[in-house]
């Protein structure tokens, strides 16, 4: 289950869009400005990098969450199996006691 994005995450996206839009407009107005083109490309690389980091973080947290859920399910299954085993052992003892009464 995906959690709701934080205010910081949303603000980062808005800020990235604003910077891209402004740099894009400036670059369209002055396409010969090599520094501006380099700045625009550098910002796009940073944008991709930060988005990849966020995706890795989300993926890692999701994997950890799924592993915890799997572990918890395994613990619950083990507890149920132990309860069933205790019931079965009690029935075996009860049946053994009944067989002793009959000398078997």
Structural domain total, the chain: 1
From the number of C-beta atoms within 10 Å of its C-beta (0-12, 13-18, 19+), residue 16 rates as middle
Angle at CA of residue 59, ends 58 and 61, nearest 5° = 65
Written as one string, the DSSP assignment of 62-88 is: HHHHHHHHHHHHHHHHHHHHHHHHHHH
At residue 1, the pLDDT reads 55
Asked if residue 73 belongs to a domain, the reply is yes
How does pLDDT run across 19-55, given as a tens digit for each residue? 999 999 999 999 999 999 999 999 999 999 999 999 9
How does pLDDT run across 51-71, given as a tens digit for each residue? 999 999 999 999 999 999 999
Band (pLDDT 50/70/90 cuts) for residue 2 is low
Asked if residue 3 belongs to a domain, the reply is no
At residue 69, the pLDDT reads 97
- The whole domain housing 45 covers 8-101
Element (H, E) at 57: helix 34-101
């Amino acid at each position: 289950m995906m959690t709701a994005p934080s205010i910081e995450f949303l603000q980062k996206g808005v800020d990235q869009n604003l910077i891209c839009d402004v740099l894009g407009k400036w670059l369209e107005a002055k396409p010969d400005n090599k520094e501006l083109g380099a700045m625009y490309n550098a910002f796009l690389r940073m944008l991709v990098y930060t988005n990849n980091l966020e995706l890795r973080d989300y993926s890692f947290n999701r994997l950890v969450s799924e592993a915890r859920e799997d572990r918890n399910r395994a613990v619950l299954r083990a507890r149920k199996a132990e309860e069933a085993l205790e019931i079965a052992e009690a029935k075996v003892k009860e049946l053994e006691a009944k067989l002793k009464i009959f000398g078997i």
